[in-house]
A and B are shown apart, each in its own frame.
Chain A
């Protein structure tokens, strides 16, 4: 944010930093060999839908977008809504790289439709540890953070999360401010 924006009070909502999402594909080897984690075949993007007026048009556009991405990539896409009032696009594909590519295409499409500022996060699920591991990508921050819910209320396995941070730091842009590592409990993937 430049000085002029400060002076005139024009701070905008942070736009999405989508490009760094691809770092995940390079980290997949480390995830497999060092952490023993394999993709669970699902990734998802979470965004805040627009208000009622725009909704009908956006909904049909969204449907078209999902169909075109699915046709191009061969991934399965579905839309879910959660109790927080957010919408999710879940991508199911056995290959992590395809998940990332499809999700990126969806994010781009949403951005073109004017949803860019509403993009909240992407999440990828991995199995192989004691608990399911999620790597969350914050669009506002352009960084990843690990999220390991223990399934017991809103508890998380912090030790495991910090270990993942240490192991992945060289390959993934990891959010350094730990107080921003917010969870995504009951994510639909």
Chain B
């Protein structure tokens, strides 16, 4: 029997469905208003939208790896990491994803890829060096659960219209700036079309952003649960999370002179590029994740303090 999700949490499932439903409803309203206001022809609009969605969907893994500066490593370059991921994949009944490494001191990891067959897991060198192997295992199992739960697909769909709304906001602004949207003949009321589009887009963007953050947090809880079930030991992920978010690991291991020299070549100063810790914004607060994990530990009969 093939497992589809790891463990059940009916409350979480319900909240996920409710949020997803709200987001869907929002997008339908957005689409209808857009269609009415723009008089754009449904077919070209759909073609553009679906085309963009597919482009984003198919390039997501490569984009994410490129953007984070991760390098795909083969088995001989990181034998222990490969072995650990293979073991976990066997447990989770997943095909083995590509393995990538990001060269930075900050301990972190992410998973990407549109489907389990086209997935990649990236870990930072800091994660590998600063955490115990069992803790790394907990983090990797969390990322593999993201792959098993198809979170990239979910988030792509969820955020796609938000992106479109963002684009249209900008588009509406330009249309307003360069003389009124070009839709002069059916302006029977006083409000110009571009203003309607702009307003609706802004509202959609803000609301969908909030909903997406919520969905993202629910998926994190689900992946934490997945990690606990794959490794059978939620306390591994708990101590890993505590370590990752601890202040101590924000102290860099790099040399000041090295960093200053790099600043000359990068557009963003190295000291401002705290990329990885900002990823945690879409994550639930640590205490809630720890509480949820110790609840799972109790369910599994492995109580942790």
Contact = CB atoms under 8 A, between A and B. Distances in A.
B254 A182 contact: yes
B251 interface: yes
Contacts of A158: 248-249, 251
B261 A85 contact: yes
Interface of B: 106, 247-261, 271, 274, 277
A96 to B, nearest CB: 22
B271 A183 contact: no
Interface of chain B, main secondary structure: helix
Contact of B251 (A86, A136, A161, A185): A161
Interface string A152-189: 00111011011000000000000000111111110000
Residue from the set B249, B252, B277 with the largest chain A CB neighbour count within 10 Å: B252
B257 A179 contact: no
B256 A184 contact: yes
B247 A178 contact: yes
Contact of A180 (B249, B255, B261, B271): B271
A46 B257 contact: yes
A154 B251 CA distance: 12
B256 A136 contact: yes
A156 B260 contact: no
B271 A120 contact: no
A166 B129 CA distance: 26
Nearest to A158: B248
A162 B247 contact: yes
A12 B255 CA distance: 23
B251 A178 contact: yes
A84 B256 CA distance: 10
Contact of B258 (A84, A121, A155, A162): A84
Contact of A183 (B247, B248, B253): B253
A82 interface: yes
A162 B250 CA distance: 11
A183 B250 contact: no
Contacts of A121: 256
Given A138-B256, A154-B253, A184-B257, 12 more contacts: A48-B260, A84-B261, A86-B257, A136-B256, A158-B248, A158-B249, A161-B251, A162-B248, A179-B251, A180-B252, A180-B271, A182-B255
A57 to B, nearest CB: 23
Contacts of B277: 179
A155 B255 CA distance: 11
Contacts of A156: 251, 253
11 contacts: A120-B257, A154-B253, A162-B247, A178-B251, A179-B106, A179-B277, A180-B271, A181-B251, A182-B252, A182-B256, A183-B256
Contacts of B250: 178-179
B156 to A, nearest CB: 31
